[in-house]
């Protein structure tokens, strides 16, 4: 099974994003957290910033929308060239229609679930998505601790993805470090977002390699 390691630039230096994107060029995607101060109690940046990051990033962008009304706003991120656009199930009015629209625009379509959101309603719809993001912290802030109670949801999704026969990426986001990545990989995650553990390291490239090696050692 392929795996991906996506550093979150939420933990980068916002005054030096081009420099920090260069520091993670050995990663698969740069994870970009969009927060609107409504869906989550924090605010980051929006479409204009993503358009510019897209122009200077050495690796493709994995956009995570923590915003209200993604049905209206998500296609704009596909339009500026984000490789993947993930919106929250709790915020979308018509998740399937939105995912189809994102795919038509050439982006990978992702659906995200907060720690307390059950996955069962989505298990029959998995083929509509290219990736599913299981939040392993409450969305809104970096630097929180991994919530181990999310592991059964990851296991359930891994089984359902396997049954579906589709190549759907299973992403975890929040509190991922060299210890917690073992549990997430063991439960079946194959795509790992890590913010503070990568950018808090003296050498982000070495941390990316260490996280990859840890995940590979516990591959499902």
Ligand X SMILES: O=C(CO)[C@@H](O)[C@H](O)COP(=O)(O)O
What is the helix (H) or strand (E) element at residue 110, kind and residue range? strand 108-113
Could you tell me the smallest distance in angstroms from the CB atom of residue 192 to ligand X? Answer: 9
CA dihedral 95, 107, 10, 168 (to 10 degrees): 70
User: Is 36 part of any known ligand binding site?
Assistant: no
Choose, by CB under 6 A, the member of 23, 31, 153, 158 that binds ligand X: 31
33, 36, 62, 130: which is the annotated catalytic residue? 33
Helix (H), strand (E), coil (C) string for 46-106: CHHHHHHHHHHCCCCEEEEEECCCHHHHHHHHHHCCCCEEEEECCCCCCHHHHHHHHHHCC
| Beta carbon of residue 162, minimum distance to ligand X (angstroms, whole number) | 26
CA distances from 103 to 20, 69, 99, 129, 151 (A): 29, 18, 6, 9, 28
Question: Is position 173 annotated as part of the catalytic site?
Answer: yes
State in angstroms the smallest separation of the CB of 163 from ligand X: 28
| 71 is an active site residue | no
**Binding residues among 141-170 for ligand X as defined by CB under 6 A:** 141-144
Q: Does 196 bind ligand X (CB under 6 A)?
A: yes
Spatial distance between the Cα atoms of 155 and 160, rounded to a whole number of angstroms: 9
Residue 142 annotated as binding?
yes
Asked whether position 131 contacts ligand X by CB under 6 A, the answer is: no
Q: Which of residues 163-192 bind Fe ion (CB under 5 A)?
A: 173
* Binder of residue 143, out of Fe ion, ligand X, none (CB less than 5 to 8 A by kind): ligand X
Q: Residues annotated as binding site?
A: 8, 31, 33, 64, 140-143, 173-175, 195-196
């Amino acid at each position: 099974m392929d795996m991906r390691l996506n550093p979150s630039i939420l933990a980068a230096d916002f005054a030096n994003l081009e420099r920090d994107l260069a520091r993670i060029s050995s990663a698969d995607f740069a994870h970009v957290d969009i927060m609107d101060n409504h869906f989550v109690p924090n605010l980051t940046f929006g479409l204009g910033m993503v358009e510019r990051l897209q122009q200077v990033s050495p690796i493709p962008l994995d956009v995570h929308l923590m915003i209200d009304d993604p049905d209206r706003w998500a296609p704009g991120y596909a339009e500026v060239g984000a490789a993947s656009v993930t919106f929250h199930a709790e915020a979308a009015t018509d998740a399937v229609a939105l995912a189809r629209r994102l795919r038509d625009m050439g982006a990978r379509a992702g659906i995200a679930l907060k720690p307390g959101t059950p996955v069962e309603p989505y298990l029959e719809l998995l083929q509509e998505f290219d990736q599913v993001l299981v939040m392993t912290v409450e969305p809104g802030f970096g630097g929180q601790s991994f919530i181990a109670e999310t592991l059964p949801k990851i296991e359930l999704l891994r089984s359902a993805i396997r049954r579906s026969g589709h190549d759907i990426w299973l992403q975890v986001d929040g509190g991922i470090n060299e210890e917690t990545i073992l549990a997430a990989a063991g439960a079946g995650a194959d795509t790992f977002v890590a913010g503070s553990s990568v950018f808090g390291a003296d050498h982000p490239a070495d941390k990316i390699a260490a996280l990859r090696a840890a995940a590979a050692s516990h591959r499902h």
